[in-house]
Amino acid sequence: MASILHSLKEIVSFIAAIFMIITFSLILFSLGYSVPYLSQHIGDPHFAVPFYLAIPIPIVLFFVEGQMAYIWYILLTSVAILASFYFGYKGIYPYFKEFFSKPFSYKHNLFQDVTELFSLSLFFTMLIYYLSLLFGYTPSTIGIEKYPLWYQMLQTLHAAVYEELIVRFLFLGLPLFLTYRLLGKKLPYYRIFGGGFKMGTFEIIYLLISSLIFGFAHMSSWGPWKVIPAFVAGLALGYLYLRYGILASIVLHFINDFISAPLGISNALLLPFSIITIYFMVAGAVFFISYSIRIYRHFHPQPKREKMEIERPPWLSSTQKNVDRWIDLRCPICGGDVFQYVDENHLKCLRCGNIIELSSYREQSHQSEREGHLL
């Protein structure tokens, strides 16, 4: 039953992967479109990006405006493209290659993890949103949709990359690296940017801390309802950071924040994007159930089944050496080949009940061997 459910989950994941390819392609097109598009608005007084620290409430340090803000955007675009190449090489290509050769091998990779975690995060956000409405609380939004498209692109790409540095790097990668260094484990310096970590005690502690900071950092602009969805998103981003590195967490953050950009370019994408979004939410519910079961089984493992010891007759060990020589033994009455020991010298045919004396067959076996050598 478990394998059937797992196979169904993999099918849901594969369809979500197809939709992710479509979505990600449109997002990359929008990113390319944004570079010359934003250059037309450098002189706007709102063309600025904030630099801040999340401790956990964001504390703004300074703003970068105009030409410098555009140069910063070009740098962010380069990072997003680099992360996208990594996503394709380490995730998309190996996933489809593995799926079409071994459809249900259950070997997760970067692409599948990003697809499933994005769906899960989207499902959880909408779940909390509608539960808030159900209990009479109207969730507030950041209101960025009221601003021009160029402003949305500038701020969302900035958040996708910059927040990975001030949250995942500062509160997950850096302290984890220093902790292992203090414990005498010599990690290479590039591991400070994540990748290759397993879920040990320190990893879980810093993952929870960074996710809580990420959750509360969204409260000032979104309201209290956003803390839990952002915390869950922080867990997803932190997991990718630990397992695959900072480029992986940037990819998921980039997809999540930049996903509305294609709609700003063309309203014709509204219907297909709505269908894809609904599927992502449904798939997210499936993944939520699947991950919940996996987490439960991790902390509540099933007891190992004890092997049943079959009681052997005390004299069986003395005749064990001769067992292999009688594998072709046949009952002379019915031709059966399944027997049960009666005692040390007798077998009972389980087909007809005939009792066979072993000593006579030993002599026949030795005689057959001697005749075989003479031939």
Which domains does the chain possess? 2-299 (no CATH), 318-374 (2.30.30)
Supply 158's token pair.
């900035």
The confidence score (pLDDT) of residue 170 equals: 96
Rounded to 5°, the CA angle 37-38-43 comes to 125
Q: Which has the closest alpha carbon to 261: 137, 143, 157, 116?
A: 157
Which pTM was predicted?
Answer: 0.79
Q: Scanning the structure block, which residue is given the tokens 């002379």?
A: 332
Neighbours of 51 (CB within 10 A): 13
pLDDT given at position 276: 96
Residue 56: cis peptide before it, omega within 30 degrees of 0: yes
Tokens 């979004």 belong to residue:
277
DSSP for 212-260 reads HHHHHHTHHHH-GGGHHHHHHHHHHHHHHHHHT-HHHHHHHHHHHHHTT
Q: CA 323, 313, 336: angle at the middle one, nearest 5?
A: 45
**What pLDDT, on the 0 to 100 scale, is given for residue 351?**
78
Spatial separation of the C-alpha atoms in residues 246 and 248, rounded to whole Å? 5
**C-alpha–C-alpha distance, residues 70 and 318, integer Å:** 87
Residues of the chain with pLDDT under 50: 318-327, 366-375
Report the distance separating Cα 187 and Cα 174, nearest Å: 12
Q: Quick check: 84 and 28 in contact, CB under 8 A?
A: yes
Q: What is the 3-state secondary structure (H, E, C) of 255-304?
A: HHHHCCHHHHHCHHHHHHHHHHHHHHHHHHHHHHHHHHHHHHHHHCCCCC
* The pLDDT of residue 368: 47
| Environment class of 300 (CB within 10 Å of its CB; exposed 0-12, middle 13-18, buried 19+) | exposed
At 111 the pLDDT is: 96
DSSP string computed for 148-199: -HHHHHHHHHHHHHHHIIIIIIIIIIHHHHHHHHHTT----GGGGG--S---
Collapsing DSSP states into helix, strand and coil, what is residue 58?
strand
